[in-house]
Amino acid sequence: MMTYVLRPETRAGRLLDRLPLIGDMLRRPLGALGIVIVAGFLLIVIFAGVIAPYDYAAQDLDALLEGPSARHLLGTDHLGRDLLSRLIYGSRIALGTAVPAVAMALVGGILLGLIAGYFGGLVDDAIVVLIDAMKAFPAVVLALAVLALLGPSRANAVLVIGLAWIPNYARVTRAQVLTARQQVYVEAERSLGATRWRIALRHILPNVIAALLVLAAMDLPVVITFEAGLSFLGLGVRPPSPSWGVILSEGFNVIRQSPWPITWAGLTLIVITLGFTLFGETLRDVLDPKLSGTRGI
Amino acid sequence: MLTYLVKRSIMTLLVLLVVILFLSLLVEIVPGDPAVALLGPRASPALIEKIRAEMDLDQPALVQAGRFLGRVTRGDLGKDVFTGKSINDLIRNALPHTLILAWTSLALAVVIGIPLGIYSATHPGHWLDRVTTLISISFITIPPYVAGLFLLLLFAVQWKVLPALGAGKLSDPGDYLAHLVLPVVALAITWIGYLARLVRASMLEVLNENYIRAARAAGVSQPRIFYKYALKNALIPTIAILGVGIGSLMGGAVFVEVIFNRPGMGTLIYNAILSRNYPVVRAGVLVVAFLFVATNLVADFVYTWLDPRVQLGKKQG
């Protein structure tokens, strides 16, 4: 006799439905590597205060620009600060800048894209020109132009990165809305007398959001390196904050005396972006193979 | 085709117009006075007024934008308020260095990335394909400034085999080339990985098409299928991407130029930002945006010309 087990419609039940996702991702070797790196990174962000051997600003004046040693595992910078501790605390700045910036781009992009795709006509044309105009700059150059006037700070970096990334999300949202509004269920809803906003928010948005979240996950590493790059140029997060870009920039000034600050900060950036990229790509492949190629550059 | 060309060109002009408006109104949108920022808080009011007048800041926003637009259409990018030099001259000196850097990087990426992608696609699942995949993903994730710093550290500081600073003189090609190697490699790395992945993906897609299967069934030899039939179509999306590539390479060039102290557009804009010389920043950014838009336009035309399947004038959905 066959038994049917109905999974109850509870929050836990729905969570169980989600679990195979992680299983699917772990089964791919590169995906597993991505998950391990991202999980490790998140643990470091959360427990930075516990793991870091020193405070990020604490100076050891007997050890300026030293190489790795038992006392300072990765060596010290030009002020005798422990590089390992600075890199660990820097993870908080990386995530704390990238997440609000991507969130801002996501919200702004969704709004613009929904309006353009749903209302069409002149509104759409105007928004498309605006998006194209914003995409007419390499993101770095747009950020430089705005930061030149705003002045460097972490809040301004978030603002500028968020702005620079809005067109990507607006473009994807618009494209998805254009596809979604052709669907039969939207047609049906419209014939039942639903308002445009109800259709846009309750029916189209949920269908668009999966693609956008994958895009956001894949943008996180790009934004992290972007912030570090701006900070490297002295236009993002400012010293003494231990942003990875600041560590690189301070290391650049002493490149002839010590290779260590640049080496460690550079490797950290490479490993973290690699981890996030593998994570994002695997997530995309597992969620929906059709989505490959939605990523802008 | 012709209507598409006209439509696309009008769109491009509109985009450039918005860019110019944006750049000239940015000063108004953002708090603070560029003249005060430029001269510092202790400058005399008379001097500040003089500079404000020179930058048109004493005019209403729309007049500013109109004057800037008028000058730009006449090909005049304005004057450096510090030195009184013409910005056109500054850009004429800087632009060649950046263009050489960006185009050489793109060429290097094409020469290495595309064969890597082809190899991967023709040997799917082979361990070398896996290694290539891992390498190309890693390359994509290396930011150009980290690549630049690492190359500088190894080849110029530790081993001292290549020069670290400047661009050399164009009159001495050997010297110029030696100065070019590290920046070009630093900038190309991302795109080597990117092209390898793109070519692999589009080639695998094409190899699944019916016409390839038909060719196989008809007994056409493997190399002939790969290189004569599949590669041609697989390269079309790559060409479309290369137009975007030049733009993103010019963005990366800012970092690479600053690291290697090359006197290009990136360094020009960067130094102008540090000295808060907004007219130079504005002009430099405008030139970069113009080049970006122009290459995209050309790439679009080439793309539609190469691939008749692209439906002209249809909104991208």
Give A1→chain B minimum CA distance, Å: 44
B13 interfaces chain A, CB cutoff of 8 Å: no
Q: How far apart are the first and last CA of chain A?
A: 56
Interface of A with B in 12-41 (CB under 8 A): 30
Q: What's the half-sphere exposure (Cβ side, CA atoms, 13 Å) at B282?
A: 25
Distances (CA, A) of A296 to A95, A167, A249, B18: 21, 10, 28, 22
Q: How far is A9 from chain B (nearest CA, A)?
A: 36
Which ipTM was obtained for this model? 0.86
One-letter-per-residue 3-state SS of A115-184:
HHHHHCHHHHHHHHHHHHHHCCCCHHHHHHHHHHHHCCCHHHHHHHHHHHHHHHHHHHHHHHHHHHCCCH
Q: Is B19 on the interface with A (CB under 8 A)?
A: yes
What mean pLDDT is predicted for residues B136-159? 92
Residues in B touching A149 (Cβ below 8 Å): 26-27, 30, 32, 34, 37, 278
Tell me how far the alpha carbon of residue B288 is from its chain's centroid: 8
Backbone phi, psi, residue A186, to 5° = -70, -40
pTM: 0.86
Write the CA distances from A247 to A83, A157, B109, B289, integer angstroms.
Answer: 9, 17, 29, 30
The shortest CB-CB distance from B15 to any of A133, A139, A144 is to A133
Residue A162 and residue A98 in contact, taking contact as beta carbons nearer than 8 Å = no
Among B186, B256, B266, B150, which residue's Cα sits nearest to residue A255?
B150
Among B11, B146, B255, whose Cβ lies nearest the Cβ of A269? B146
**Total residue count of chain B as it appears in this document:** 317
Q: Residue B130 has which token pair?
A: 């896996």
Amino acid at A42: L
A235 CB within 8 Å of a chain B CB: yes
Tens digit of pLDDT at every position of chain A (297 positions): 444 444 444 444 454 455 566 777 777 788 889 999 999 999 999 999 999 999 988 888 888 888 899 888 999 998 989 999 999 999 999 999 999 999 999 999 999 998 888 788 899 888 988 888 888 778 888 888 888 778 888 999 999 999 999 998 999 888 888 887 778 888 888 888 888 778 777 877 887 787 888 889 889 999 999 999 999 999 889 988 999 999 999 999 999 999 999 999 999 999 999 999 888 888 887 776 554 443 333
Residue labelled with tokens 């969620």: A287
Kindly list the residues from chain B whose CB atom is less than 8 angstroms away from the CB atom of residue A281: 137
State residue B276's pLDDT score.
79
